[in-house]
Amino acid sequence: MDDALDLALNGYAFLPDRRRARGGGPVPLRLAGLRATALCGPDAVRFFYDEAHVRRSGALPEPLRGTLFGKDSVHSLDGAHHRRRKHLFVSLLTGDGVGDLVRHVTAAWDDAAAGWDGPTVLIDEAARVVTRGVCAWTGVPDGPGLARDLTSLVDGFATAGPRHWRARRARGRLERRFAALVERAREHPGGTTAVDTMAWHREADGRLLPPRVAAVELLNVIRPTVAICWFVAFAAHALTLRPELRPRLADEAFATAFTHEVRRFYPFAPFVGGRAVADLEFGGVAIPRGSMVLLDLWGQNHDATLWPEPFAFRPERFVGRPVGATELIPQGGGDPRTGHRCPGEQITVAVLTALVRRLAALDYDLPPQDLGISLRRIPARPADGVVVVPRRAGA
């Protein structure tokens, strides 16, 4: 029996349910005709991110490349080829640039929030705000429909329905638009924006990336940054669960702990996958060469052996606790410089912490709405996107 239907029906809970039913350990599966083994836990993270065990080339299903990541992206590279491309992302997305991005995004939020009047859908507004900020930061012109196209890429990767086709059309438009920017940047050497960096990046053989691939990678900076809007909506949801935390978010250290708990608690990326490099074994289960190996991100972030009371939202658990390489893994695990762990984690934490603090300082009412988050929908989101009605001073 193929397990793809069960995955489609049960979403994030699919792998943890299977693991529970087996009494723990690796879970053998068959997904879309392929043999797969799902792993979870810090030892599994170490195993999964070892290049002698798992490769990424040939592992990403076409529907994912056609929507979320793009073809020939860093996600699908291995070895020296991966490290060279990855260095490009790590150097762009860490260090001084992070503070500059936060300044652009918070300025866009302050500007937009001053005009919020009446019911405001937070996930959509946050998408527009972050799009404005990241466009200013990368040197990409913002424009009508850009935030919507970028969020469509994220919203449509794990469904066969209309959201998927919207994502494919958005990718076509965005790749054409970004490839044109890359070509223009190549006519004017010497620029220092992210567009210029992508335009002038050279592969190991000294050649520039084809404009379409440079566009794909530029999108792999901008698209996931805009996806932080999901976490902004989740943060607002968390404040409905723990409203007493609001004043404590003025404190940056506590706000950072809150951000980590939002990333742990709420469902976003369900799992990551690759292919077994050789005949392997993990936890007593044989993993044949070429079969899929999955790492259950959501399951691990809700594993009671790592997180006491995993289904309670408790930022306190991150106060004074460093975030290591193998436990909290909403954006993958291991070392982002050498492996496939997300290079945008610093950016995510910095931007989200800044926006969480602004959200906590915003005076608003929540009108009647559906705040439910279905674990069957990938990516999950509060059903109505969190509608807020800002209170005006003196109103």
Task: Give me the residues that bind ligand HEM (CB under 6 A), please.
Answer: 74-75, 86, 89, 93, 220-221, 224-225, 227-228, 231, 268-269, 272, 330-332, 340-344, 347-348
Rounded to the nearest whole angstrom, what is the least distance from the CB of residue 318 to ligand HEM in the complex? 16
Rounded to the nearest whole angstrom, what is the least distance from the CB of residue 21 to ligand HEM in the complex? 25
The 3-state secondary structure of the chain reads: CCCHHHHHHHHHHHHHHHHHHCCCCCEEEEECCEEEEEECCHHHHHHHCCCCCEECCCCCCHHHHHHHHCCCCHHHCCHHHHHHHHHHHHHHHCCHHHHHHHHHHHHHHHHHHCCCCCCEEHHHHHHHHHHHHHHHHHCCCCCCCHHHHHHHHHHCCCCCCHHHHHHHHHHHHHHHHHHHHHHHHHHCCCCCCHHHHHHHCECCCCCECCHHHHHHHHHHHHHHHHCHHHHHHHHHHHHHHCHHHHHHHHCHHHHHHHHHHHHHHCCCCCEEEEEECCCEEECCEEECCCCEEEEEHHHHHCCCCCCCCCCCCCHHHHCCCCCCCCCCCECECCCCCCCCCCCCHHHHHHHHHHHHHHHHHCCEECCCCCCCECCCCCCCCECCCCEEEECCCCC
Q: Which residue is nearest to ligand HEM (CB)?
A: 344
Rounded to the nearest whole angstrom, what is the least distance from the CB of residue 203 to ligand HEM in the complex? 16
Residues near 334 by beta carbon (within 8 Å), at least 6 away in sequence: 45, 46, 48, 49, 325, 326, 340, 341
C-beta closer to ligand HEM: residue 126 or 269: 269
Residues near 12 by beta carbon (within 8 Å), at least 6 away in sequence: 267, 270, 298, 375, 378, 380
C-beta closer to ligand HEM: residue 375 or 389: 375
Rounded to the nearest whole angstrom, what is the least distance from the CB of residue 333 to ligand HEM in the complex? 7
371 phi, psi to nearest 5 deg: -95, 10
C-beta closer to ligand HEM: residue 37 or 331: 331
Is 229 annotated as contributing to ligand binding?
Answer: no
Rounded to the nearest whole angstrom, what is the least distance from the CB of residue 229 to ligand HEM in the complex? 8
Token digits of residue 70: 């793009």
Rounded to the nearest whole angstrom, what is the least distance from the CB of residue 139 to ligand HEM in the complex? 14
C-beta closer to ligand HEM: residue 75 or 357: 75
Angstrom CA distances, 336 to 121, 219, 221, stand at: 33, 19, 15
274 phi, psi to nearest 5 deg: -150, -170
C-beta closer to ligand HEM: residue 248 or 337: 337
Rounded to the nearest whole angstrom, what is the least distance from the CB of residue 280 to ligand HEM in the complex? 17
C-beta closer to ligand HEM: residue 48 or 313: 48
Rounded to the nearest whole angstrom, what is the least distance from the CB of residue 363 to ligand HEM in the complex? 27
C-beta closer to ligand HEM: residue 212 or 367: 212
C-beta closer to ligand HEM: residue 114 or 330: 330
C-beta closer to ligand HEM: residue 102 or 360: 102
Rounded to the nearest whole angstrom, what is the least distance from the CB of residue 344 to ligand HEM in the complex? 2
Binding-site residue numbers for heme are 342
* Residues tagged in the binding site annotation: 342
